[in-house]
Copies of this chain bind each other. A is one copy, B any other.
Amino acid sequence: MNTLKHYIDSIEEIDADFGEQALDRHNNLTKPMGSLGQLETLSIRIASMTHTFPPVVGRKVLFTLAGDHGIVAEGVSAYPQEVTGQMVYNFLGGGAAINVLAKHAGAEVIVGNLGVKAPIESDHPNYRHLKIADGTANMAHGPAMTEEQAIRAIQAGIQMFEDEHRKHPIHLAGTGEMGIGNTTPATAILAVIAGIPPEQVVGRGTGIDDEGLTRKTTAIQKAIQINQPDKNDGIDILRKVGGFEIAGLVGVILAAAKNKVPVLIDGFISTSAALIAAILNPICKDYMIAAHESQEPGHWKMLRILDKKPLLNLNLRLGEGTGAALAMQIVDAAIKIVTDMATFSEAGVSNKD
């Protein structure tokens, strides 16, 4: 815990001086000031995050973490639990949505097994075996994991990022996840942090029916009731009502911030990890970019807590990092605008009177 606390406390603030340089450049480019809206603000923020001007379009990595959830015993998901492991193989085989969208964005997908119940056998170069346990315990009956497990899972996420970053520097990171049942812990995390009853934010996840929705709501209510997570203690929330892949993503987000790498937060489950990271160190928020607004009803609430405006709203609700992958192209576009456009004087164009 001390090692982790030290790591978290060593995250540095973003540097607005670099953002100022991006702003100065924008004001000289051949377009009315501010006319490229979020592309402009994004490039300014990225300069501040990376402590660099001009920012660089470089290596893009999506961290797609998988884990299983004991809470599925309560009948909270439309899909059987074995799908988590099957989808890990699909990610490694290249047939999943995240593979298609990552390839389209020129990004790599690193797949982390933080706690998939089924054994995964793979020597794929992008597979990381970081398993803490065969899925979490059923949080409707007690904590999802021990404190020690929560910390190990966060550290596994940190290590995953640090290893990749050391091999070849990452310029833009994205979060993603797979875990049958994991909108249930994500909803519990939101309910605890926002201090609102679960029934106000619960959604259909991968598409559960009305009876399933009732079971899911009850399961979350029970989990919060029995565990009484402390809303100001990120580790406590995580271990009581979280998941291994969520904990791993907390680590990825912390490591991105620590290394001054912008991190695109994907959908509902990824954003629950972002909420935890923001409790552990609020500076993290400044390194986050909200990729999109999910169809999952609680997601806008999460984004409001983080004070983030999402780049996309395409009614996605798949996870895996799919929204983050799509948003990577918007981020690249924003950087290219500030680096590649001509200025008024270079192009011989008259500026505003």
**A82 contacts partner chain B, Cβ-Cβ < 8 Å:** yes
**Interchain CB contact under 8 A, A348 and B100:** no
Question: Contact check: which of B83, B350, B352 meets A349 at CB < 8 Å?
Answer: B83
**Which of chain B's residues has its CB closest to A332's CB?**
B104
Return the CB mask of A244-282 against B: 1 if under 8 Å, else 0. Answer: 000000000000000000000000000000000000000
Within 8 A of B (CB), among A79-119: 79-80, 82-83, 86-87, 89-90, 93-97, 99-101, 103-104
Within 8 A of B (CB), among A304-326: 311-318, 322, 326
Q: How far is the CA of A322 from the CA of B330 in the complex (A)?
A: 12
B residues less than 8 Å from A95 (CB atoms): 30, 341-342, 346-347
Question: Contact check: which of B34, B83, B207, B350 meets A86 at CB < 8 Å?
Answer: B350
**A128 contacts partner chain B, Cβ-Cβ < 8 Å:** no
A31-B97 in contact given A38-B315, A207-B352, A316-B36 (Cβ < 8 Å): yes
Give me the interface of A with B, judged by CB distance under 8 Å: 29-39, 78-80, 82-83, 86-87, 89-90, 93-97, 99-101, 103-104, 206-207, 295, 311-318, 322, 326, 329-330, 332-333, 336-337, 340-342, 346-353
**Interchain CB contact under 8 A, B89 and A348:** yes
Min Cβ gap A270→B in Å is 15
**Interchain CB contact under 8 A, B330 and A32:** no
Min Cβ gap A297→B in Å is 14
Q: How far is the CA of A107 from the CA of B331 in the complex (A)?
A: 18
B residues less than 8 Å from A33 (CB atoms): 207
**Interchain CB contact under 8 A, B37 and A295:** yes
**Interchain CB contact under 8 A, B104 and A333:** yes
CB pairs A–B below 8 angstroms (20 shown): A29-B97, A30-B95, A32-B78, A32-B79, A34-B317, A35-B206, A36-B97, A36-B318, A79-B351, A82-B350, A100-B340, A100-B341, A101-B333, A101-B337, A206-B352, A311-B314, A312-B312, A313-B313, A326-B330, A326-B333
**Which of chain B's residues has its CB closest to A322's CB?**
B36
A315-B352 in contact given A95-B346, A101-B333, A341-B95 (Cβ < 8 Å): no
A80-B207 in contact given A37-B315, A315-B37, A342-B90 (Cβ < 8 Å): no
A316-B39 in contact given A90-B349, A341-B97 (Cβ < 8 Å): yes
Extra contacts, 16 of them, besides A90-B342, A97-B341, A207-B352 (Cβ < 8 A), are A30-B87, A32-B78, A32-B317, A32-B318, A36-B97, A38-B314, A39-B314, A79-B352, A96-B341, A100-B341, A101-B333, A206-B352, A312-B312, A313-B313, A314-B330, A326-B330
Min Cβ gap A351→B in Å is 8
Q: How far is the CA of A69 from the CA of B162 in the complex (A)?
A: 57
B residues less than 8 Å from A333 (CB atoms): 100-101, 104, 326
